[in-house]
Amino acid sequence: MITESKKLIHAAVLFMLLVFPLSAAASGHVVVIDPGHGAANKGVTLSRNVHEKDVTLAVARLVKKSLSGVNNIRIRLTRLDDRDVSMANRKKIVERSNADLFISLHVNAGFGQNAEGYEIYYLGSTVPSAKKSNSGEILKDMEQTRRLNNSVRFAQIVQKNVGRVFPRKGRGLRNAPVLVLQSLTAPAVLLEAGFATNLKDRKKLKDEKIQKDIADALTKSIKEYFSTGGAS
Report which of 191, 199, 108 is spatially closest to residue 156, judged by C-alpha positions.
191
Of the candidate residues 43, 117, 187, 194, the single one contacting Zn ion (CB under 5 A): 43
Q: Which stretch binds Zn ion (CB under 5 A): 1-9, 76-84, 102-110, 196-204?
A: 102-110
| Per rule CB under 5 A, count of chain residues that contact Zn ion | 3
Q: Which stretch binds Zn ion (CB under 5 A): 43-51, 66-74, 115-123, 165-173?
A: 43-51
- Shortest separation between residue 179's beta carbon and Zn ion, angstroms: 11
Q: How far is it, in rounded angstroms, from Cα 8 to Cα 213? A: 51
- Shortest separation between residue 31's beta carbon and Zn ion, angstroms: 20
Instruction: Tell me whether residue 83 or residue 96 sits nearer to Zn ion (CB atom).
Output: 83
Q: How far is it, in rounded angstroms, from Cα 126 to Cα 88? A: 21
Of the candidate residues 74, 90, 91, 106, the single one contacting Zn ion (CB under 5 A): 106
Instruction: Tell me whether residue 38 or residue 43 sits nearer to Zn ion (CB atom).
Output: 43
- Shortest separation between residue 46's beta carbon and Zn ion, angstroms: 12
Q: How far is it, in rounded angstroms, from Cα 55 to Cα 105? A: 9
- Shortest separation between residue 52's beta carbon and Zn ion, angstroms: 5
Decide if 86 contacts 17 (C-beta within 8 A): no
Q: How far is it, in rounded angstroms, from Cα 120 to Cα 101? A: 15
Q: Is there binding between residue 64 and Zn ion (CB under 5 A)?
A: no
- Shortest separation between residue 119's beta carbon and Zn ion, angstroms: 12
Q: Which stretch binds Zn ion (CB under 5 A): 28-36, 61-69, 132-140, 175-183?
A: 28-36
Q: How far is it, in rounded angstroms, from Cα 120 to Cα 194? A: 10
Angle at 66 between CA 180 and CA 221, to 5 degrees: 55
Q: Is there binding between residue 36 and Zn ion (CB under 5 A)?
A: yes
Report which of 34, 38, 54 is spatially closest to residue 46, judged by C-alpha positions.
54
Instruction: Tell me whether residue 90 or residue 106 sits nearer to Zn ion (CB atom).
Output: 106
Residue nearest to Zn ion (CB): 106
Instruction: Tell me whether residue 102 or residue 225 sits nearer to Zn ion (CB atom).
Output: 102
- Shortest separation between residue 41's beta carbon and Zn ion, angstroms: 9
Q: Which residues bind Zn ion (CB under 5 A)?
A: 36, 43, 106
